[in-house]
């Protein structure tokens, strides 16, 4: 019984963390095998459309899988197969959105919302093991591993730099350009996007940007997506608690029957 109670509490805490309030991102698309950890040290669970991810959450995709998240201000990220990101910071203060994310491995496509107030600029930083990319409003993709990182810009400008202190100067990468940064080596030259990244733009990035532009004009749809997830979650919890109460009743009944059986056996032994 104690194990059942502990498991129930763990499930409840994990689910609560997945929709915790505050500025964060909503999962708007899940394809195939995607898992999420809603807080540092929390167990991995299946990612579901409508989940809310706040600072401290991790998102991971397996082979032939992808996921998309949309932040409350309209900034969005698409995670491709075999990728892992962590949301280190997601906040909004005085009309300025600030994001810090880590891409441990894989590919992340980013569509950063521009701030319409000329005096206020949203801040977005995505780190990899060997690079740091900072932007104020743009569309770009980053591929990362423990030894190399490539940043390709489709719109706007990105400042990319090495995590190696020997090469502190950032490289400016503008529209239709890319740069590669290898571990322990000075960042490479900024070059035109390769055929690979151009094909990815046409096949994936352009459609992703169109979806995000639609969401930005219909953020109520994102909120409703989250509400539908919450309604489903509450129903699951209610059903789980009903099953839990039924199990407790069955255990109590079994204990009462066992007690009666023991009393009968004791009475028979006494008569003998």
> Residue 93 — pLDDT band, cuts 50, 70, 90?
confident
**203-222 mean pLDDT:** 95
Question: In the beta sheet, which residues pair with residue 67?
Answer: 30, 79
Q: Using the 8-state DSSP alphabet, how is residue 85 labeled?
A: E
**Most confidently modeled of 96-100, 107-111, 118-122, 247-251?**
107-111
222 vs 266, more confident = 222
Q: What is the DSSP string of 118-162?
A: TT---EEEEE-SSEEEEESS-EEEEEE-SSEEEEEEEESEEEEEE
* Topology of the domain comprising 18-229: Jelly Rolls (2.60.120)
pLDDT tens by residue, 142-153: 999 999 999 999
Q: Which residues of 97-136 are buried (b: 16+ CB within 10 A; e: fewer)?
A: bebbbbbbebbbbbbbbebeeeeeebbbbbbbbbbbbebe
The pLDDT value given to residue 156: 94
The pLDDT value given to residue 113: 87
Tell me which residue has tokens 């194990």. Answer: 3
Q: Give the gyration radius of the chain's Cα atoms.
A: 25
The pLDDT value given to residue 240: 67
pLDDT at 246 over 70: no
**161-190 mean pLDDT:** 94
Question: d(Cα 28, Cα 26) in Å, to the nearest integer?
Answer: 6
Dihedral in degrees, nearest 10, Cα atoms 54, 90, 101, 81: 50
> Residue 95 — pLDDT band, cuts 50, 70, 90?
confident
**252-258 mean pLDDT:** 71
C-beta of residue 237 within 8 angstroms of C-beta of residue 5: no
**65-77 mean pLDDT:** 96
Helix or strand (DSSP H, E) at 113: none
The pLDDT value given to residue 244: 63
Mean pLDDT of the chain: 86
pLDDT at 96 over 90: no
258 vs 6, more confident = 258
The pLDDT value given to residue 15: 41
């Amino acid at each position: 019984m104690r194990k059942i109670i502990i498991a129930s509490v763990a499930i409840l805490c994990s689910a609560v963390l997945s929709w915790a309030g505050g500025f964060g991102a909503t999962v708007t698309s899940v394809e195939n095998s995607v898992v999420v950890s809603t807080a540092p040290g929390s167990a991995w669970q299946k990612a579901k459309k409508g989940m809310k991810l706040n600072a401290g959450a991790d998102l991971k995709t397996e082979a032939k899988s992808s996921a998309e998240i949309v932040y409350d201000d309209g900034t969005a990220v698409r995670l491709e197969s075999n990728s892992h990101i962590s949301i280190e910071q997601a906040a909004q203060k005085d009309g300025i959105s600030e994001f810090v994310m880590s891409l441990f491995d894989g590919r992340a496509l980013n569509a950063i919302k521009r701030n319409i107030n000329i005096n206020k600029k949203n801040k977005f930083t995505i780190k990899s093991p060997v690079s740091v990319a900072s932007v104020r409003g743009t569309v770009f993709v980053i591929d990362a591993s423990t030894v190399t990182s490539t940043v390709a810009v489709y719109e706007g400008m990105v400042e990319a730099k090495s995590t190696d202190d020997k090469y502190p100067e950032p490289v400016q990468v503008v529209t239709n350009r890319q740069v590669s940064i290898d571990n322990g080596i000075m960042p490479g030259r900024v070059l035109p996007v390769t055929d690979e990244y151009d094909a990815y733009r046409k096949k994936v990035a352009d459609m992703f940007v169109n979806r995000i532009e639609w969401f930005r004009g219909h953020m109520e749809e994102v909120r409703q997506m989250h509400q539908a997830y919450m309604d489903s979650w509450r129903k699951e919890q209610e059903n789980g608690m009903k099953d839990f109460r039924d199990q407790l009743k069955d255990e109590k009944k079994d204990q009462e029957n066992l007690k009666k059986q023991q009393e009968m056996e004791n009475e028979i032994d006494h008569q003998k």
